[in-house]
Amino acid sequence: MNTMELIEGHKRITPAPGIPVWDIDPYGEAILSDPLEYYAELRAKGPVVYIPRLSILALGQYATTHKVFSDHENFVSSRGVGLNDFAIEKPWRAPSIILEVDPPDHTRTRKVMSRALSPKMVKGLVDMFAATAEELVSSLLKKDSFDGVTELAETFPVAVFPRAVGMKDVDQRILVDYGACVFNAMGPDNRLRRWALERNAEIAPWIMAACARDRLTDDGLGAMIYDAADTGELDQEEAPMLVRSFLSAGVDTTVTGIGNALWCFSQHPEEWQRLRDDPSLVRPAVEEVLRFTSPVHTFGRTAGHDTEIAGFPVEEGTKIICVLGAANMDPEKWGDPEVFRIDRRPTGHMAFGAGIHGCVGQNVARAEMEAILHALSRKVARIEPAGEAVWRPNNAIHALDQLPLKLIPA
């Protein structure tokens, strides 16, 4: 007899006495669009908070978020990094063989992906990134105004990343939407997740077809994955699944990072001027944009066995959301987190996660953002708002929907 009560596809838990209870929906669209107050209240309630309507624990203080996120032994990924527990419910798609796994399975696939995304491979891409960024910025300078989301933040990664992977099929709308689906699917059964499942049904066949070996050139990052299948490092059917991970995690995330960077500099012209005066600030500016806007705002884990968080007992099967956006805004860690300062050098920010699952593509992500900021900083005196910035709620991503901009030539 199974008397376990389920909620959002995981076990309903009884929180340990003393854990603060907060009756809120962290996936409400108003919060997802404008999360700063929610981040502050979450941190203020304590190191760990129980959210009854989803029966999950939520972490927002830097110290606890970092500790739990780095602890893959107690807080597993193989049961899914959203609210569904893969040990109980059938996952919405075939699980990722790098994201939704634990060691030792994770160790083998991670090694193949980190080779394809290594600093050496990124070095081979930077000239192509720079040339594409220069060309794109030149063409946007000819316009009176444009949408920073569709015409720059989406266009650039879609121009360079599928090319780096060696994809023969490229469709901006499908590639961006697929990432949005993957991240929305991490949330509860709300409007956003239901959209994701519907949209995924339309585009998943296109995505999987685009990951096939005969749809990839033999000189890209995708070919490196298939090479690993040839040498026996991977099974044959694992190669397209790892190429799928490039598309799940590598497009919408960098689109968001670039869009958020444009937003930061349109709102902080004095910081743009500092960047123009000292191009060596491009690198730390990228880190500050990532800290300040947290493109991936929330990521989950599951307690693999009975354990504890901040001294409170946590039962096996508990879903825990790590609110990376809140950790990146914790004044205990950052002092003045709500000040956007491009020379902050925010070592230890959580935008790429932490621990063994820390973003394997972070060198590519940085290179894309740096290429755009370099091109803009040489050609553009000011990045001005040309209308209201509108955020696009997503269960795991903090991204813009619209960003009307005007570039003032240098």
Question: Considering the rule CB under 6 A, would residue 249 count as an interface residue with ligand OVM?
Answer: yes
Question: Cβ closer to ligand OVM: 61 or 248?
Answer: 248
The residue (of 249 and 364) whose beta carbon lies closer to ligand OVM is 249
Decide whether 117 or 285 has the Cβ nearer to ligand OVM. 117
Q: Which stretch binds ligand OVM (CB under 6 A): 9-17, 29-37, 39-47, 241-249?
A: 241-249
Smallest gap from residue 192 Cβ to ligand OVM (A) = 15
d(C-alpha 289, C-alpha 312), whole Å: 34
> H or E stretch including 406?
strand 404-409
Please identify which residue in 245, 294, 318, 328 interacts with ligand OVM, judged by CB under 6 A.
245
What's the gap between Cα 37 and its chain centre?
21
Nearer to ligand OVM, 85 or 147 (CB): 85
Residue with tokens 């953002």: 369
| Nearest CA among 99, 262, 103, 124 for reference residue 182 | 99
> 169, 245 in Cβ contact below 8 A?
no
Residues paired with 122 in a beta bridge: none
Q: Binding segment for ligand OVM among 21-29, 103-111, 201-209, 244-252 (CB under 6 A)? A: 244-252
Q: Which amino acid is at 138?
A: S
- Which of 258, 389 has the CB closer to ligand OVM? 258
**CA gap 121, 119 in Å, rounded:** 6
Q: Which range touches ligand OVM (CB under 6 A), out of 223-231, 242-250, 329-337, 339-347?
A: 242-250
Q: Which stretch binds ligand OVM (CB under 6 A): 27-35, 220-228, 245-253, 278-286?
A: 245-253
Nearer to ligand OVM, 83 or 136 (CB): 83
Contact stretch for ligand OVM (CB under 6 A) within 31-39, 91-99, 166-174, 194-202: 91-99
Count of residues engaged in binding ligand OVM, rule: CB under 6 A: 7
> For residues 98 and 290, which CB has a smaller minimum distance to ligand OVM in the complex?
98
Q: How far is the CB of 25 from ligand OVM (least distance, A)?
A: 23
| CB proximity list for 170: less than 8 A, separation 6 or greater | 158, 162, 163
Rounded CA separation 230/226 (Å):
6
Percent helix, percent strand, percent coil in the chain, to nearest 5? 50, 15, 40
CB atoms within 10 A of CB 21: 10
Residues 95-124 that bind ligand OVM (CB under 6 A): 96, 98-99
Q: How far is CA 79 from the centre of its chain?
A: 19
Q: Which is nearer to ligand OVM, 47 or 162 (CB)?
A: 162
Whole-angstrom Cα distance, residue 351 to residue 356? 14
Return the amino acid letter for 120: K
Residue with tokens 């949330």: 187
In the complex, what is the shortest distance from the CB of residue 113 to ligand OVM, in angstroms, rounded to a whole number? 9
Over the window 179 to 198, marking each residue x when it contacts ligand OVM by CB under 6 A and - when it does not, the resulting string is ---x----------------
Interface residues toward ligand OVM, by CB under 6 A: 96, 98-99, 182, 245, 248-249
